[in-house]
A and B are shown apart, each in its own frame.
Chain A
Amino acid sequence: MKIRLLAGLLVLGMAAAGCGGATVGTPSGSAAPQPGGGSAAPGSAGTVKIAINPWVGYEASANVVAYLLKNELHYDVELPEIKEQLAWEGFETGDVDVIIENWGHPDLKKKYVEEKKVAVEAGSTGNKGVIGWYIPKWMADQYPDITDYKSLNKYAHLFKTSESGGKGQLLFGDPSYVSNEEALIKNLKLDYKVVVGGSEASLIKGAQQAQEQKKPLLFYFWDPHWLFNKTQLVRVKLPEYTEGCDADPKKVACDYPEMDLDKVVSKRFADTGGKAYELVKNFQWTNEDQNAVANDMTNNGMTGEQAAKKWLDANTAKWQAWLPK
């Protein structure tokens, strides 16, 4: 009986949606409301969906932009939580209008900006992303030469763990991160093994315990990150980055380049987003700015909105420049 009912519903719905078939990019019905200039609550200029990628620095940027969109430009803002790569799919479905902090991803840019033409680059955030190998500060104090990769082999025995099979352990994080670790170890002839933590949490907890319990740890990490405000970490020097030294992923033997983090928006939002799009495009700040907001959110118990408000109140001149003229 229920099956018949369901079938009936299906037929009815198909008729209602017209017989052209449903494509996801052009939503019909209430399933996916129009983003950008679409209909929204009365008195609102529209709805903007900023994807929240799962790290706090990103959230800080998103909250600051969201606060301005809400209170200065009177938009409704949604902040759906989505992992990096999936957020790009959201451009296609209308689930995402803005990725506020993008770490490179040339492959995704090629796919969604050039081939599918559903996304558009919206300029730098002003943040510089730095990936590298880090150790807790106490190790740098105790073994001053350890911060150079050349002496890593000398200290490999310190980094041995139950997982590293007799070699030193290099702890890696979430598999979605940019990574040259395997190649670096091989090409620099280091007596180390990459142990995959699998998540950001495994890196943070490892780093916190390493500094607090005075345990050795060599791990992959990145700046900007709120952890730097709480735990003292020192970066290990790898051979300096030169243009093109990372061209062949198998032959990389140099440090990571400093990455210019940028914003990406959906094509639809770029075309119809009006003032909201202008604001997103103009948004630009520094690593210190972001770390301040992220730190308030993580360690001072503030919500994203409170932390954003605190920063905005203290930096009026900066955000005034972002507002569309």
Chain B
Amino acid sequence: MTTQQRLPAPVEVTAAGTAEGAASRGGLPRWAWYAGAAALLAAAYAVFRGTGTLPHDKEAPQFLAVTELREWIDDQRDLNPVFLYFLNYVRLYVAEVHGLFQTVLNALGWPGLVGVMGGMAWLAGGWRVALLAVAGVGSFGVLGLWESSVETLALVGASVLLSLAIGVPLGVWAGLSRRVRGLVTPVLDVMQIMPTFAYLAPLVLFFHIGAPAGAIATMIYSIPPAIRITSLAIQEVSPAAVEASASLGATPAQTLFKVRLPLARPRIALAANQTVMMALSMVVIANLISAPGLGGDIIRGLSRAQVGLMLPAGVAIVVTAVVLDRMLSALARRGPRSRAGRLDLAAAGALAAAGLALTPVLPATWPQEWTVNLAAPVNEAVHWVESTWYGATTFVKDLTSHALLNPLEGLLTTAPWWLVALAVLALAWRVSGARPALTALGCLLAIALLGLWEHAMQTMTTVAVAVLVTLVLGLLLGVAAARSPRYSALQRPLLDAAQTMPAFVYLLPALALFGSTRFTAIFASVVYAVPPVARLVEDGIRAVPAPVVEAALSAGSTPGQLLWKVQLPMARRAILLAANQGIVMTLAMVVVGGLVGAGALGYDVVVGFSQRADFGMGFVAGVATVLLGVMLDRITQGADGRPSPRRRKLT
């Protein structure tokens, strides 16, 4: 194997994709160029192996400098005007908003909350959604998690409200001004790829711990889609409508409020939807800085090593996500000017009133007899799996580690840094062109300068293998779903659950089956990243025009030929986008990997979060993860001529 062939999986896919259509240069066939370059790199590796490696130093001066900066800031806390007049007020206001949500939700009482949610759902999408909302909110009580669920709702509500209050106006501005857009986009990129753990520690420094800090952490993660989608919605308002309004003499403000915003409304509802989903995925992380809610139940289950304790909380989070998603997407589907009918209003009002009227009558807390305790049976089932499957899972783990992970990691960590940089440069140049290639190179060099080369190479190995597995699985599932609508209907809710279920819940059995290894981390990433990939592939294949499919069939194609010769090639763009998404999602799980034995950058971030003296290393490792993400993105982005893949991911 040569260096080039062993670089991350998506790169291979995309490289193969472009090679097909491109014409060969000079007299030599294309493959000869590749073979030549690969042979050259292989020769260089053979000669220089073991030299120019940059081993990890826990006490690199870069890390120490950041740690010292942290201590300095910490000492300034009650002296510096930035704290006194800005940061501490931010904390107070967020606390105020969160407290308001908390008070209102608790004051409603459980029958009241069920009724009010049902009423709101009815207004948003009719009786079906209302039924779902009533059942969903009721299930919090049945699971025995009423109080934590309400805490989570309050936290998510406060963060989403604030995210939208800031994100929508910013998004509108970015949608109107190209310059603002250019300024905001890279910041949003960083906010989304930066591992949440990495900014948790600095956040604690500025905003302390507790619910307000948790809400702010959640906002950092949930604001980007609000800004991005709003900006996109404003940009995509038909220019004809805007021109018409301007030619009729409307001021820019009138055009914005009377034309642009109303036309963009469904899209902005979608922005709200994405914001909610992002906020929900922070529930567990927020608990690490002592924000209340369902995250606490999950962390407790983790320290007692009992899936039975974690699963109900995980289910409650998934249920919350499903209920809110159905409500908000029903809202997004409705036309810009439609209003609820009188009948709907009456029904919704009745539902809410009934709930509120019952609050003083029924017991103040959810009755104990109405809860179902699942802990024991779930624990038993998990235990059965852990002891029965152990042999098979160990075999799979060892095979992957010895055949794939160890050689690749060995290669990347023993190759001289300049050789790896050269390979990345050549590859990115070939696939995406000069500018992205230089950016990729810049990122890689920055990682080296930050003192995290070795760990970054190890993380790259895990990410590469995870992306490879994700793509294979995602393609299989996506193709299967595209070919059978019935199977697709079965698979969709499962994928939804896999994406919203906090990773910690399935990490425990994974730890028992695979041990504390890189493979466990890969397993977690795959569960998290397969759903979007499968969905994109399915949509891509579905989008192949029916006449094309019919033409192929009438020409006598077998289903296999149809798939390989028509559907997959035509869905290429969607598949490439899926590959890119796979990379981003996998990177998001790097830190979780650090908690289950993957080591490297993820573990550095975790260390930085839990050991004061290593704050610097953790923070720098977070930055390095972002750089790694940008690098992989730049290498792959040219594959289908997209400007930036992440800009599309939320549309």
Q: Which residue of B91, B96, B208, B516 is within 8 Å of A202 (Cβ)?
A: B516
When A93-B210, A198-B603, A201-B508 are in contact, do A163 and B517 touch as well, CB less than 8 Å?
Answer: yes
When A80-B290, A201-B511, A301-B375 are in contact, do A171 and B516 touch as well, CB less than 8 Å?
Answer: yes
Determine if B607 is an interface residue (Cβ-Cβ < 8 Å): yes
Determine if B565 is an interface residue (Cβ-Cβ < 8 Å): no
**In the complex, which of the residues B299, B397, B512 has the most CB atoms of chain A within 10 Å of its own CB atom?**
B512
Bound CA span A238–B14, Å = 54
Determine if B594 is an interface residue (Cβ-Cβ < 8 Å): yes
B375/A22 in contact, CB under 8 A: no
Q: Who on chain B is nearest to A182 by CB? A: B58
Determine if A14 is an interface residue (Cβ-Cβ < 8 Å): yes
When distances are taken between beta carbons in the complex, the residues of chain A under 8 Å from B387 are 212-213
A22/B89 in contact, CB under 8 A: yes
Against A, the Cβ 8 Å flags (1 = close, 0 = not) of B373-392 are: 10110000000001100100
Shortest beta-carbon distance from B366 to chain A in Å: 15
A205/B84 in contact, CB under 8 A: no
B95/A175 in contact, CB under 8 A: no
A13/B611 in contact, CB under 8 A: no
Determine if A174 is an interface residue (Cβ-Cβ < 8 Å): yes
When A25-B78, A90-B290, A202-B511 are in contact, do A80 and B169 touch as well, CB less than 8 Å?
Answer: no
Q: Who on chain B is nearest to A3 by CB? A: B169
Determine if B515 is an interface residue (Cβ-Cβ < 8 Å): yes
When distances are taken between beta carbons in the complex, the residues of chain A under 8 Å from B77 are 23-24, 92
A10/B288 in contact, CB under 8 A: no
B99/A31 in contact, CB under 8 A: yes
When A80-B290, A163-B597, A201-B303 are in contact, do A174 and B610 touch as well, CB less than 8 Å?
Answer: yes
A196/B603 in contact, CB under 8 A: yes
When A25-B78, A54-B299, A198-B597 are in contact, do A107 and B613 touch as well, CB less than 8 Å?
Answer: yes
**In the complex, which of the residues A10, A21, A175, A206 has the most CB atoms of chain B within 10 Å of its own CB atom?**
A175
B607/A175 in contact, CB under 8 A: yes
A21/B84 in contact, CB under 8 A: yes
From DSSP, what is the main secondary structure of chain B's interface residues?
helix
Shortest beta-carbon distance from A251 to chain B in Å: 16
When A24-B91, A171-B516 are in contact, do A201 and B507 touch as well, CB less than 8 Å?
Answer: yes
Q: Which residue of B204, B515, B603 is within 8 Å of A175 (Cβ)?
A: B603
Bound CA span A82–B299, Å = 10
Shortest beta-carbon distance from B168 to chain A in Å: 7
Shortest beta-carbon distance from A44 to chain B in Å: 18
Bound CA span A29–B92, Å = 8
When A56-B304, A175-B611, A301-B375 are in contact, do A22 and B208 touch as well, CB less than 8 Å?
Answer: no
Determine if A190 is an interface residue (Cβ-Cβ < 8 Å): no
Q: Which residue of B88, B511, B515, B599 is within 8 Å of A196 (Cβ)?
A: B599
Determine if B165 is an interface residue (Cβ-Cβ < 8 Å): yes
Determine if B81 is an interface residue (Cβ-Cβ < 8 Å): yes
When distances are taken between beta carbons in the complex, the residues of chain B under 8 Å from A23 are 77-78, 83-84, 88
Bound CA span A235–B387, Å = 24
Interface hit among B15-23, B60-68, B398-406: B398-406
A199/B88 in contact, CB under 8 A: no
When distances are taken between beta carbons in the complex, the residues of chain A under 8 Å from B373 are 301
Q: Which residue of B89, B99, B299, B398 is within 8 Å of A10 (Cβ)?
A: B89
Q: Who on chain B is nearest to A21 by CB? A: B84
When distances are taken between beta carbons in the complex, the residues of chain A under 8 Å from B519 are 162
Determine if A282 is an interface residue (Cβ-Cβ < 8 Å): no
**In the complex, which of the residues A56, A90, A201 has the most CB atoms of chain B within 10 Å of its own CB atom?**
A201
Shortest beta-carbon distance from B295 to chain A in Å: 8
Against A, the Cβ 8 Å flags (1 = close, 0 = not) of B587-616 are: 000000011111100110011001111100
Determine if B85 is an interface residue (Cβ-Cβ < 8 Å): yes
Bound CA span A13–B210, Å = 21
When A162-B519, A197-B597 are in contact, do A29 and B96 touch as well, CB less than 8 Å?
Answer: yes
Find residues 33-87 in chain A having any chain B CB closer than 8 Å to their own CB: 54-56, 80-86
B300/A81 in contact, CB under 8 A: yes
Q: Who on chain B is nearest to A210 by CB? A: B515
**In the complex, which of the residues A25, A90, A161 has the most CB atoms of chain B within 10 Å of its own CB atom?**
A161
When distances are taken between beta carbons in the complex, the residues of chain A under 8 Å from B289 are 82, 86
Find residues 228-258 in chain B having any chain A CB closer than 8 Å to their own CB: none
Bound CA span A52–B95, Å = 21
When distances are taken between beta carbons in the complex, the residues of chain A under 8 Å from B89 are 10, 13-14, 17, 22
Determine if B287 is an interface residue (Cβ-Cβ < 8 Å): yes
When distances are taken between beta carbons in the complex, the residues of chain A under 8 Å from B165 are 2, 6
Determine if A204 is an interface residue (Cβ-Cβ < 8 Å): yes
Against B, the Cβ 8 Å flags (1 = close, 0 = not) of A153-167 are: 000000001110100
Bound CA span A16–B612, Å = 36
Shortest beta-carbon distance from B406 to chain A in Å: 7
Interchain Cβ contacts under 8 Å between A and B, 14 examples: A14-B89, A21-B88, A22-B89, A24-B78, A81-B296, A162-B397, A165-B406, A195-B516, A196-B599, A198-B602, A198-B603, A199-B302, A201-B305, A206-B515
* Chain A contacts to B: CB under 8 angstroms: 1-3, 6, 9-10, 13-14, 17, 20-25, 28-32, 54-56, 80-86, 89-90, 92-93, 95, 107-108, 161-163, 165, 171, 174-176, 195-202, 204-206, 208-209, 212-213, 226, 297-298, 301
Q: Which 3 A-B pairs have the closest CB atoms?
A: A21-B84, A162-B401, A176-B610
* Chain B contacts to A: CB under 8 angstroms: 77-78, 81, 83-85, 88-89, 91-93, 95-96, 99, 165-166, 168-169, 204, 208-210, 212, 287-290, 292, 296, 299-300, 302-306, 373, 375-376, 386-387, 390, 397-398, 401-402, 405-406, 507-508, 511-512, 515-519, 594-599, 602-603, 606-607, 610-614
Given contacts A24-B77, A95-B209, 5 further A-B contacts (CB under 8 A): A162-B519, A202-B511, A202-B595, A204-B305, A212-B387
